């Protein structure tokens, strides 16, 4: 089975070092739980892993191949859920989901995905009438509507009620049982048995010595 | 290819459900065009003379008006991120979005152009060439505009920057578009101008996806 790993990643945003020397490896069925204070680079790391950002140093490898060697292949095997839900206000919940699932081109299963996050009753409601939590559930339904090996989830439980957080944990467990991998950044307790914690607090670069002019 | 069709379909559906945006460009086109006779006087021979130029300049401004929304909504709600991470190459996604933009902006302008031609007492012998030149020229406006729209994403007050970036680049399309119609009205062959417009269209069909994709990737970093 392929290995997903990061070696010695350095990340710099806006001229400021965010973290340095980050390494991990994630086997099939594995989960990585990113923790750390605000601003320690959890979101940046997820964007690096998705290929939206490029690291200043180090490498991200899938099965030994750098992910930027074939960006299209990498994009096809991952789901990235960022802070934004990509829900169009004038399209219904179902139309929103159908578009993203169809774009990924695999056998899409819209109904079960809507059903899992209790959105079936809202399927024909336009996005602008959905609440923040419902938007989030619709974004999460994308994960189930088309299969992908790697889930990159940035604060997936923001705005969710208790029942939905449970449903999310259930979806992640099922994804992992099928050999899927998941990297989650969260501040909220999310039930993920056997998840490997990765704290970014310790990886912050030392503060620069005071410049003397 | 099916991904391209999906994007065009989605953008057309979005435009239909928010049809105010699409009407805005056409109404701007007709109303601004109708202002000229008030400004320069109702002399029929003068209006006849300036008709092709006015129609082209006003069409160009109407397209400009609609450019900001090309990528901005997708950028703000996270759809652009998801598009970039979809298996569809970003270059194709951009072509799809530009095609949808042209169908909802350029095509209605072409449909409204005969109205302005009549208002300006333009010789109907030139109408066919005017429409043909617009058919070749308005996609160029959408394609060049898309680069400007992509470059200004994420910039503060980006919408104000777009005209500054894009207007100078519109000059060749304007020259050949008006040139074709003027030639037809003067009884000359419009062929050279139309060929140059077609060449420009082909060049932009290659440049826009590449430049646009680079600009969008930069905007999403």
- Cα–chain-centroid distance for residue A166? 17
Please answer yes or no on whether A80 and B14 come within 8 Å at the CB atom.
no
> From the CA of A14, how many Å to the nearest CA of chain B?
10
**Closest residue on chain A to B1 (Cα):** A103
Q: What are B71-90's pLDDT values in tens digits?
A: 999 999 999 999 999 888 99
Contact A54, A48 (CB under 8 A): yes
What pairing do the DSSP bridges indicate for beta strands A57-62 and A31-35? unpaired
Please answer yes or no on whether B78 and A82 come within 8 Å at the CB atom.
yes
> From the CA of A92, how many Å to the nearest CA of chain B?
11
> How high is the pLDDT of residue A202?
79
In this complex, is the C-beta atom of B43 within 8 Å of any C-beta atom belonging to chain A?
no
Give me Rg for the CA atoms of chain A.
18
Across the range B159-168, mean pLDDT stands at: 91
Which residues of chain A does B86 touch, with a Cβ-Cβ cutoff of 8 Å?
Answer: 75, 100, 103-104
> From the CA of B14, how many Å to the nearest CA of chain A?
7
Closest Cβ opposite residue A86 in set B2, B82, B88: B82
Torsion of CA B202, B174, B172, B21, to 10 degrees: -60
CA distance B137 to B116: 17
Please answer yes or no on whether A51 and B85 come within 8 Å at the CB atom.
yes
Q: Token pair for residue B138?
A: 């308005």
> How high is the pLDDT of residue B104?
94
In this complex, is the C-beta atom of B87 within 8 Å of any C-beta atom belonging to chain A?
yes
Read off φ and ψ for residue B47, nearest 5 degrees.
-60, -40
Which residues in A have their CB inside 8 Å of a CB on B?
50-54, 72, 75-76, 78, 80, 82-88, 90-91, 95, 99-100, 102-105
Q: Nearest CA to A113 among A148, A88, A82?
A: A148
In this complex, is the C-beta atom of B191 within 8 Å of any C-beta atom belonging to chain A?
no
Q: What are B93-143's pLDDT values in tens digits?
A: 999 999 999 999 999 999 999 999 999 999 888 899 999 999 999 999 999
In this complex, is the C-beta atom of B84 within 8 Å of any C-beta atom belonging to chain A?
yes
> How high is the pLDDT of residue B221?
82
* Sequence-distant contacts of B105-108: CB under 8 A, at least 24 apart: B105/B22, B105/B25, B105/B62, B105/B63, B105/B66, B105/B138, B105/B142, B106/B63, B106/B134, B106/B138, B106/B139, B106/B141, B106/B142, B107/B138, B108/B22, B108/B25, B108/B26
> How high is the pLDDT of residue B171?
96
- Min mean pLDDT across A196-210, B13-27, B102-116, B184-198 is at A196-210
Interface confidence, given as ipTM, is 0.88
Contact B104, B9 (CB under 8 A): no
Per-residue pLDDT of chain A (213 residues; tens, 9 = 90+): 578 889 888 888 888 888 888 888 998 899 999 988 888 889 999 999 999 988 888 899 998 888 888 888 888 899 999 999 999 999 999 999 999 999 887 666 788 889 899 999 998 999 999 999 999 999 999 999 988 999 999 999 888 899 999 999 999 999 999 999 999 998 887 888 888 888 888 777 766 666 665
Angle at B169 between CA B163 and CA B171, to 5 degrees: 105
Q: Token pair for residue B126?
A: 């030139």
Contact B14, B24 (CB under 8 A): no
> How high is the pLDDT of residue B101?
95
Q: Nearest CA to B85 among A183, A73, A102?
A: A73
**A22, A121, A204 from A50: Cα distances, Å:** 16, 32, 21
Q: Which residue in A51, A75, A107 has the most chain B C-beta atoms within 10 A of its own C-beta, making it the best mutation to test that interface?
A: A75
Which residues of chain B does A81 touch, with a Cβ-Cβ cutoff of 8 Å?
Answer: none
In this complex, is the C-beta atom of B92 within 8 Å of any C-beta atom belonging to chain A?
no
Alpha-helical (H) ranges within B103-170 are 107-119, 127-151, 158-166
Angle at A97 between CA A96 and CA A101, to 5 degrees: 125
Contact A137, A122 (CB under 8 A): no
Q: Is A96 exposed, middle or buried (0-12, 13-18, 19+ CB in 10 A)?
A: buried
Residue-wise over A187-205: b if at least 16 C-beta within 10 A, else e? eeebebeebeebebeebbe
């Amino acid at each position: 089975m392929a290995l997903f790993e990061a070696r010695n990643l350095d990340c710099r945003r806006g001229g400021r070092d965010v973290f340095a020397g980050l390494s991990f490896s994630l086997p099939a069925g594995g989960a990585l739980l990113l923790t750390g204070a605000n601003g320690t680079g959890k979101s940046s790391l997820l964007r690096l892993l998705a290929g939206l950002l490029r690291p200043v140093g180090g490498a991200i490898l899938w099965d030994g191949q750098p992910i930027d060697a074939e960006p299209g292949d990498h994009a096809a095997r991952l789901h990235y859920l960022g802070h934004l839900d990509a829900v169009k206000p004038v399209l219904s919940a179902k139309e929103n989901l159908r578009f993203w699932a169809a774009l990924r081109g695999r056998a899409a299963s819209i109904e079960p995905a809507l059903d899992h996050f209790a959105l079936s009753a809202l399927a024909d409601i336009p996005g602008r009438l959905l609440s923040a939590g419902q938007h989030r559930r619709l974004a999460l339904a994308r994960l189930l509507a088309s299969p992908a090996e790697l889930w990159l989830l940035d604060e997936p439980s923001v705005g969710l009620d208790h029942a939905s957080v449970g449903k999310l944990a259930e979806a992640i467990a099922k994804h992992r049982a099928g050999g899927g991998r998941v990297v989650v950044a969260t501040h909220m307790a999310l039930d993920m048995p056997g998840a490997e914690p990765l704290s970014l607090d310790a990886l912050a670069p030392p503060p620069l010595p005071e410049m003397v002019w | 290819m099916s991904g391209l069709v999906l994007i065009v379909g989605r953008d057309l559906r979005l435009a239909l459900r928010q049809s105010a945006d699409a009407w805005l460009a056409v109404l701007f086109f007709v109303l601004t065009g109708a202002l000229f006779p008030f400004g320069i006087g109702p002399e029929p021979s003068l209006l006849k003379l300036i008709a092709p130029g006015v129609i082209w300049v006003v069409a160009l401004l109407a397209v400009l008006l609609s450019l900001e929304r090309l990528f901005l909504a997708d950028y703000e709600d996270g759809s652009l991120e998801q598009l970039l991470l979809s298996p569809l190459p970003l270059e194709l996604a951009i072509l799809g979005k530009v095609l949808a933009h042209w169908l909802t902006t350029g095509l209605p302008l072409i449909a409204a152009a005969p109205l302005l031609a009549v208002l300006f007492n333009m010789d109907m012998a030139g109408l066919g060439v005017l429409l043909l030149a617009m058919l070749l020229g308005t996609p160029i406006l959408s394609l060049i505009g898309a680069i400007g729209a992509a470059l200004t994403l994420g910039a503060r007050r980006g919408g104000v920057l777009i005209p500054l970036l894009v207007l100078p680049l519109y000059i060749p399309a304007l020259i050949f578009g008006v040139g074709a119609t003027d030639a037809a009205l003067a009884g000359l062959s419009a062929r050279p101008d139309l060929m140059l417009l077609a060449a420009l269209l082909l060049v932009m069909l290659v440049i826009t996806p590449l430049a646009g994709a680079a600009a969008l990737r930069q905007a999403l970093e």
